């Protein structure tokens, strides 16, 4: 696509759902981290809340695979969006993307969704804490505040293994050199012999945090990184009496995706074996296909569809990614989601089928 196609006045905007996007750029950030940049073939403005994520729908070895990645770019540059991916030993999807996704490829994406974002928790002073490739959502937030000249005092603390693993290193330094309200602190676990390093060394700890941000107790904190990193940060904050209502973390990968589904399946099976009466069952009707089924209490809308041979796309299975979103046109459900649906979608009647249990008879437009 060339820029002659772009018209800022008539360009459509993105909304939560499934979209085809084309990879237009692949940038090697560090030796094992690459950014993939996407645009739509029809000019599209990719608006989202900085910190949110998308779910890629990929076909790997003939299998449909869905995987969620936070957006690393900022909606202040809305004609494209980027995700930044690190190669992981044994990581099926991330390695496949590194080895196969190239400029010109078209893939479906779902989203954007996610509660971990800088818009829903406005603050005058923020502290970004990131570890490794967990930098992506907080980088999106920082880029957004930087580009929009937001009156937000930012302290950005990033931890990496070694100096050569620091993602967006030059851009972070550039931002810190341009505005007074962006303070950058880099922490490296170690550095190699002969490698110059003037930043912090080791792991983020109490004395370091006190030096970096003496007022950290007053800041809105956004944290993303490996689970042990986030746990260490939480312990540190709790030990200091931090009001955890002002602490936000990206929970990707923290919980095995299928656990919730399995628990519900077992509950439903137990209920079925426990001699249910007809009155206990709920009727789930899929009006788009004219199919319906009676299910036991505890079974999800997604399970009901699967029993009928209807395959609603599903990725995380725990209400994070928004992939399994369907429109409910009648009845009530109990939905235990984890941020995979927007308030606007809820108001329009959408539900996440993987984590919605009918409270009575329901009708789904599918
Ligand atoms: S599959 Fe991710 S929200 Fe349902």
Tell which atom from ligand 1 comes closest to the C-alpha of 313. 1
Residue (of 319, 351, 323, 361) closest to 336 by Cα position: 319
Cα 16 to middle of ligand 1, angstroms: 13
Neighbours of 224 (CB within 10 A): 28
Cα 318 to middle of ligand 1, angstroms: 6
Instruction: Look at 192 and 346; give whichever has higher pLDDT.
Output: 346
Residue 111, CA atoms < 13 Å, CB-side half-sphere: 33
Q: Give the pLDDT band (50/70/90) at residue 366.
A: very high
Domains of the chain: 12-113 (2.40.30.10), 125-249 (3.40.50.80), 257-365 (3.10.20.30)
**Residue 258, C-beta contacts closer than 8 angstroms, at least 6 positions apart:** 317, 318
Give residue 264's pLDDT: 46
Instruction: Look at 267 and 136; give whichever has higher pLDDT.
Output: 136
Q: Give the pLDDT band (50/70/90) at residue 251.
A: low
Neighbours of 178 (CB within 10 A): 9
Tell which atom from ligand 1 comes closest to the C-alpha of 338. 3
Cα 30 to middle of ligand 1, angstroms: 31
Cα 340 to middle of ligand 1, angstroms: 7
Cα 314 to middle of ligand 1, angstroms: 5
Ligand 1 atom 3: the closest Cα is on which residue? 319
Q: What is the pLDDT of residues 47-84, one digit of tens each?
A: 999 999 998 989 999 887 888 899 999 999 999 999 99
Pairing of β 356-358 and β 125-131: unpaired
Tell which atom from ligand 1 comes closest to the C-alpha of 340. 3
Tell which atom from ligand 1 comes closest to the C-alpha of 355. 4
Residue to substitute in 18, 57, 253, 314 for testing ligand 1 pocket (most ligand atoms within 8 angstroms of CB): 314
Cα 339 to middle of ligand 1, angstroms: 10
Q: Give the pLDDT band (50/70/90) at residue 255.
A: very low
Percentage helix, strand, coil, to 5, in the chain?
30, 30, 40
Cα 341 to middle of ligand 1, angstroms: 9
Ranges 12-16, 220-224, 269-273, 299-303: which has the least confidence: 269-273
Q: Give the pLDDT band (50/70/90) at residue 4.
A: low
Pocket of ligand 1 (CB under 6 A): 314-317, 319-324, 340, 352, 354
Tell which atom from ligand 1 comes closest to the C-alpha of 337. 3
Percentage of residues in the chain with pLDDT exceeding 70? 91
Instruction: Look at 3 and 140; give whichever has higher pLDDT.
Output: 140
Give residue 319's pLDDT: 83
Tell which atom from ligand 1 comes closest to the C-alpha of 68. 2
Does the pLDDT at position 265 exceed 80? no
Cα 324 to middle of ligand 1, angstroms: 5
Q: Give the pLDDT band (50/70/90) at residue 127.
A: very high
**Residue 273, C-beta contacts closer than 8 angstroms, at least 6 positions apart:** none
């Amino acid at each position: 696509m060339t820029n002659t196609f772009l018209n800022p006045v008539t360009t459509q905007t993105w909304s939560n759902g499934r979209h085809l996007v084309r990879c237009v750029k692949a940038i090697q950030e560090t030796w094992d981290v690459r950014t993939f940049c996407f645009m739509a073939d029809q000019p599209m403005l990719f608006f989202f809340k900085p910190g949110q994520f998308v779910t890629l729908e990929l076909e790997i070895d003939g299998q449909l695979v869905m995987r969620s990645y936070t957006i690393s770019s900022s909606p202040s540059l809305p004609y494209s969006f980027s995700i930044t991916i690190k190669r992981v030993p044994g990581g099926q999807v991330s390695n496949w993307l590194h080895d196969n996704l190239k400029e010109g490829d078209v893939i479906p994406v779902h989203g954007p969704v996610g509660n971990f974002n800088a818009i829903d928790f406005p603050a005058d002073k923020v502290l970004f804490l990131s570890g490794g490739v967990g930098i992506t959502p907080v980088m999106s937030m920082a880029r957004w505040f930087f580009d929009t000249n937001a009156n937000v005092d930012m302290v950005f603390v990033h931890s990496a293994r070694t100096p050569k693993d620091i993602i967006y290193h030059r851009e972070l330094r550039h931002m810190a050199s341009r505005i007074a309200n962006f303070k950058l602190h880099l922490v490296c676990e170690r550095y190699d012999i002969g490698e110059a390093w003037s930043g912090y060394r080791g792991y983020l700890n109490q004395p370091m945090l006190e030096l970096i941000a003496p007022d950290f107790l007053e800041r809105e904190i956004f944290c993303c990184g490996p689970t042990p990193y986030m746990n260490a940060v939480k312990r540190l904050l709790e030990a200091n009496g931090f009001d955890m209502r002002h602490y936000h973390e990206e929970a990707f990968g923290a919980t095995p995706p299928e656990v919730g589904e399995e628990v519900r399946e077992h509950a439903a099976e137990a209920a079925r074996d426990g001699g249910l009466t007809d009155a206990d069952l709920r009727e789930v009707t899929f009006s788009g296909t004219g199919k319906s089924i009676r299910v036991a209490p505890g079974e999800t809308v997604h399970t009901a569809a699967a029993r009928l041979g209807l395959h609603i796309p599903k990725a995380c299975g725990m209400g994070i990614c928004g992939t399994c979103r369907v429109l409910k046109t009648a009845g009530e459900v109990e939905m235990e989601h984890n941020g995979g649906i927007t308030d606007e979608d809820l108001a329009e009647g959408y539900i996440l089928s993987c984590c919605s249990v009918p409270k009575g008879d329901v009708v789904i437009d599918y």
